[in-house]
Structure 1
């Protein structure tokens, strides 16, 4: 063996053994770091991951997150000190027109909502939800009374009408108070609401007694009125108290009290026709009241030898136009007769009173005249029928004849037309009469004894089908039907307006039964007078 090969092996066996030594150690005990685990459903909004996929309904996975840093809340801003107004500043705000207008409108809305049995958010002008409880019987039921001791005391109602657009609104005009007060106007026009009967919705003033009033059917915010001084006034519900237009006090228009008015024509072409107690008929356009566009004086023919009168003047108390007619009208007079008149000259007839005919029967002043409304659902035309009321305690039914030619040397100079029927159940002067707007055979009337009566000619032609005495037994001055034909307003001499529900009396039967029955009733009237019936 070679010496060089043996030497490395011997050297490896001869390595020194490591020496061990003692060492000291210091131990510290520390708790382990806490690990926080959050479920997935706690990290998100519950509704943000809602889905209909069934795979998403698997159990939520857990995840390890670190501790969130603490967010310090934002400092709350300091609220400045509120300045308290003194009494002078409060009074200035309370007296300002902006605050009074806001308070007036808001209080009416709140009061209307509290008095209404329906949802105050429903548009009750487009439906019947806002009405009072409906009367389902054939009797007359009291609904409410419009009265205000401060405004209507010692006054009398002169005219009454219902809004054609808003069925809950009723317009009433009043005379000058018996005991004049410094803060009360002579003429008063109040707009009442059946949902707020305790106070008027609007009030308007005039310098003279308002003798007649009406809504404008073509302008829902305009109110029309005639006065004792002869002025024609127009109010707007968007303004306060005073008229927006009025005629001047001059000889160009009326100089006597305005007795009646009618708005004739269509939406695009209409005119206001008024008449006064001196027989003057004036025609106006609503946008210009400085001068009438037409003036017509009604008078008797002085050459008529059959009329033994001291004067030829005609004192008009009321007048009316048949439905759809604008040129021919009928007038009631203080002498108790009714005359047909023309606004314009026509073939064979001149403008003015027709001297060939007079509707004679009443023995006292005529207080009301109303033509039968035109019903588009009826197969029969009753628009030539009209009613008159009088201070002779009667109501009469007439049929208007077609305008005839003026008298000539070969024709009779005068012809008396008799009424179709006389209703004599009144206990006093009959102050007004009106047809129902929906039932062909129903009309109502009021008299001086305080009796409100409703007649249904298809049921009985002699006595009223229902009647009621007004509250406190005061005389009824005016009568007005609401467009639906079930609510009736009665103007009273003590200044109140009493509202009644006539129930089933105001509702015609389904189909054409009521019209056919009324046609048969009119045939009996014509036969009893010996004349041929056109019905």
Structure 2
């Protein structure tokens, strides 16, 4: 565990050039007003030192962080002020960003909740989104003004004349190896599929939206693993409505959707494994970390663990090799997990198994939709009382909630290492090993 004096974690990003390094952005501590409101720490997960490798400060609260994929020394963060800050770990003065975007109506004016560097080594941009309903693309070498910006618009109603409003974006994800298309989650409970270079009006962007959540979408993640089956069209959303949902952006495939309903509180973040096609993780406000393997079970996690003694979990990120998992909470704790090798050493049939699971999900949705339509027609035709209720229940049965017995948790208490926790799934497979170190900053 890496601890930073009760500052809430707002973002986690691993370095591609130095996989052992992870950047973490923190919110301000209102109990220490004399300190800078924004801080980014770089932790070394290889040596598990009790102090960060680098400390960067900012005079604005921070809402997100990103490591520059093609610049090993650059770190960027999104601010609550709407600005973007950049630091260079080679510069001696780390208390001041080397670059900062201006406060301007041509950029963001609300908190920047998501940043992502996309593209190739020779052609790449930093993309940012905000609750102001804008998407901005930036040249990493120049934050003076965005090289491109669009308003992300939501149409209220199906008519062409319907009112359009800006999408208040909370999270964002790009598919692997795609510079143009992306999805965002919003405060209105919808997910939207958008593109940076669409065919709509200049400086605006219309969308395809996914309606299913009844509360803000807090986390969103495209499928990341690459293999013999193309699954890059899949994405997950997590929400304050206590659910995680699976969607597809694939044209003509609207029936692929599923709801995972094992959480009992706000689900703040979700993340696909970068190597296993059927594995993802989710975290919630009760302090629970859930590990899902859809090849084994689609109705509940294969392992779960409560890791926040106080407060709630905020952010989650996988290491690129799929062997480690970082989780940050609202108390400033960053916990590093070693994942069992069954989660990253794949058997050859995992991809085909997951393809069959997805096909079964789609078929179940189609059958539920048909049942709902039949019950609705029965109700309309003969005046059956409660027909709509029966129809809605037919849809609910697609993803039943189920009470799962807690997984076994064994604790060993040592002198320097505070605890070692092993998480065992229902089939007694060891899935997590969490080593918690006594660290301070």
The Cα of 1:320 is off from its aligned counterpart by 1.6
Residue of structure 1 in register with 2:103 after alignment: 249
Preserved CA contact (<8 Å) 2:248 2:254 = no
Cα distance between partner residues in 2 of 1:336 and 1:516: 32
Preserved CA contact (<8 Å) 1:442 1:454 = yes
The Cα of 1:432 is off from its aligned counterpart by 0.3
What pairs up with 1:199-238 in 2 under 5 angstroms? Answer: 199-238=51-90
Cα distance between partner residues in 1 of 2:204 and 2:273: 30
Cα distance between partner residues in 1 of 2:344 and 2:196: 36
Residue of structure 2 in register with 1:390 after alignment: 239
Query: TM-score, normalized by length of structure 2?
Result: 0.78
Give the number of aligned pairs: 364
* Aligned counterpart for 2:268 among listed residues 431, 434, 439: 431
The 1:464–1:360 alpha-carbon spacing in structure 2 relative to 1, beyond 3 Å, is same
Preserved CA contact (<8 Å) 1:359 1:417 = no
The 1:359–1:349 alpha-carbon spacing in structure 2 relative to 1, beyond 3 Å, is farther
1:379 aligns with 2:379: no
Cα distance between partner residues in 1 of 2:88 and 2:70: 13
* Aligned counterpart for 1:163 among listed residues 5, 12, 15: 15
* Aligned counterpart for 1:197 among listed residues 30, 36, 49: 49
What pairs up with 1:76-91 in 2 under 5 angstroms? Answer: none
The Cα of 1:325 is off from its aligned counterpart by 1.6
Superposed CA deviations along residues 345-402 of structure 1, whole A, max 9, x for unmatched, are 44x89774445x3211110000011001151xx1111000000000000000111134
* Aligned counterpart for 1:312 among listed residues 149, 165, 178: 165
Preserved CA contact (<8 Å) 2:168 2:187 = yes
Residue of structure 1 in register with 2:376 after alignment: none
Preserved CA contact (<8 Å) 2:41 2:52 = yes
Q: Secondary structure at the match of 1:519?
A: helix
1:528 aligns with 2:364: yes
Query: TM-score, normalized by length of structure 1?
Result: 0.65
* Aligned counterpart for 2:29 among listed residues 167, 177, 194: 177
The Cα of 1:252 is off from its aligned counterpart by 2.6
1:519 aligns with 2:355: yes
The 1:387–1:263 alpha-carbon spacing in structure 2 relative to 1, beyond 3 Å, is same
* Aligned counterpart for 1:367 among listed residues 196, 208, 218: 218
The Cα of 1:508 is off from its aligned counterpart by 3.5
Superposed CA deviations along residues 250-303 of structure 1, whole A, max 9, x for unmatched, are 223111110111111100110111111010111110111111111101122468
Residue of structure 2 in register with 1:187 after alignment: 38
The Cα of 1:505 is off from its aligned counterpart by 4.3
Superposed CA deviations along residues 42-97 of structure 1, whole A, max 9, x for unmatched, are xxxxxxxxxxxxxxxxxxxxxxxxxxxxxxxxxxxxxxxxxxxxxxxxxxxxxxxx
Cα distance between partner residues in 1 of 2:63 and 2:101: 15
Cα distance between partner residues in 1 of 2:270 and 2:32: 31
Gaps of at least 5 residues in structure 2 are 368-441
The 1:307–1:189 alpha-carbon spacing in structure 2 relative to 1, beyond 3 Å, is farther
Q: Which has the larger radius of gyration?
A: 1
What pairs up with 1:135-150 in 2 under 5 angstroms? Answer: 145-147=1-3
Q: Secondary structure at the match of 1:530?
A: helix
What pairs up with 1:74-153 in 2 under 5 angstroms? Answer: 145-147=1-3, 152-153=4-5
Gaps of at least 5 residues in structure 1 are 1-144, 405-415
The 1:500–1:303 alpha-carbon spacing in structure 2 relative to 1, beyond 3 Å, is closer
The 1:463–1:258 alpha-carbon spacing in structure 2 relative to 1, beyond 3 Å, is same
* Aligned counterpart for 2:182 among listed residues 307, 316, 329: 329
1:455 aligns with 2:292: yes
Residue of structure 1 in register with 2:337 after alignment: 500
Preserved CA contact (<8 Å) 1:176 1:186 = yes
Give the structure with the larger strand fraction.
Answer: 2
Superposed CA deviations along residues 470-521 of structure 1, whole A, max 9, x for unmatched, are 14143110001111112101001101101112213422433x2111111111
Cα distance between partner residues in 2 of 1:529 and 1:272: 37
Cα distance between partner residues in 1 of 2:188 and 2:2: 34
